[in-house]
Amino acid sequence: MRPWRVGELAQELHGVDTTALSAAERRTLGEVMKELGSRRSRPSYLAGVGGGLAASSYSRRPAFELREAGGSRVTPELRATLSFEFGPGLLMVDGRWLEDLEVDPDYAGTPGRMQLKSDAAYGLFNSTYFDLDIGSLSRDWGPHGFPGLLVSNWPLNYDHLYLELGPRRLHLSMLLTELDDAANPQGELAKRYFVAHRLAATPLKWLDLALWQGTVFSGVNRNIDLGFLNPIQFTNISRSQRRVDSNVMLGGDAQVRTGQFILSASLFGDDFDFGSGEPYSFGGTVTASTSLGSTSVWLGYTLVSNLAYRSSVHIESPLVGIDSSRQRFGTGLGRNFADYDQLTLRLTIVPVAGLVARPELTMLRQGEGDPRDPMPPVADYPDTPVFLDGTVETTFRLGLALTLRPLSGATLDLSGGIHHIRHPNHMAGTSRTRGVGAITARYLLQFGGPIRHP
């Protein structure tokens, strides 16, 4: 689960055996530990101001450049950040001024110009057995390398309430947020909510397990339903007892650490209506990582079925970013695409101190299914493919990403790739090859210190 906490990262890094690392890796690790170690547990503040410039040959964020994504753009940005730590508490705001996000096809439903974006604006209270967060920040559930199947970093940050109860080896998490209002099938404006629960356990030192459920419920003038907030009861039971409509999604995660290998998996499924003939809606991710000398190797495969994230009541699909008319749906909470699979091999190398290189090979197959489309009519169920509907667009990518930190506070990110696309835009019998690239330069000047009592 991400975000990771600075204290936990520092604790893990201090336990790393550096004897097998190269000189460049040891120097890079030392810089990271030095920065993490500067955080103070006593009341303190940390402020920063900075800016940057990003240029790319496509309109999406660099992390999601694999699909066709409009024309090139150059985006300046200004950034300001301020945090206040006091024992178990933290107040944090991190804002950026940047150009119009409407050029990004992932946010076509974002109304108006968005010149000020909050990367994080939240408060939290963290104790041994209880965490409470409220505000806006990015979360991601599932194996590293792909966006989560239910809660992911694909959408823009959204305001939510987050609770975590229990020790690290057995704890329960809950996320609650209010989604955009939308017009129901009768044309009435309905309230929409999303709640997710996750029960995580570490029964063995080398094994992590988790079960989770997510629910989208809606209604005209509807308030938050306490029956769906119950962190102990299965959501389908609450739905049946209360006789209310909702879209329930179920899933689980697992990670096994054995020797030099880390194996991770995540599965997702809609609440299947057995006997209805409705095609199954599901998704899954499997990843494996290891080290070969000073090179980290990561291999991942993910699949999302044709009708994943859709609902018979269209406004109960897990989507945000609906436009101002309350009609057009925007970005998925878990994945922004369905009806596809992806296989990626990625290496991570630290050739010199402060430079991380990540070459990759990827194959992506994309069908014509779209989570923004309504469910097909019942009469069409027998003819609706479970996976890879229509003409399949296949993309092969050879790419390289570089992250360079030439001095404290300065970061330079570069990425590029060659994409060979069969049946682009689902046009049979065609193919094309194109190059994509992006460069982002940022500098953040930070300063802080203890807050002394009078």
284 DSSP assignment: E
**CA-to-CA distance for 293 and 373, rounded, in angstroms?**
47
Domain ranges, ordered by start, for the chain: 1-39, 40-450
Report the 10 Å Cβ neighbour count for 249.
26
Residue 300, beta-bridge partner list: 287, 344
Residues of the chain with pLDDT under 50: 109
Angle at 71 between CA 67 and CA 75, to 5 degrees: 105
- The pLDDT score that the predictor gives to residue 100 is 57
- The pLDDT score that the predictor gives to residue 2 is 77
- The pLDDT score that the predictor gives to residue 420 is 96
- The pLDDT score that the predictor gives to residue 412 is 96
**CA-to-CA distance for 384 and 7, rounded, in angstroms?**
49
| CATH class, 40-450 region | mainly beta
Distances (CA, A) of 393 to 139, 339, 363, 366: 30, 11, 11, 5
Angle at 436 between CA 433 and CA 440, to 5 degrees: 175
**CA-to-CA distance for 60 and 121, rounded, in angstroms?**
23
CA end-to-end span of the chain: 39
- The pLDDT score that the predictor gives to residue 109 is 47
For the chain, the 3-state helix, strand and coil shares in percent, each to the nearest 5, are: 15, 50, 40
**CA-to-CA distance for 213 and 200, rounded, in angstroms?**
12
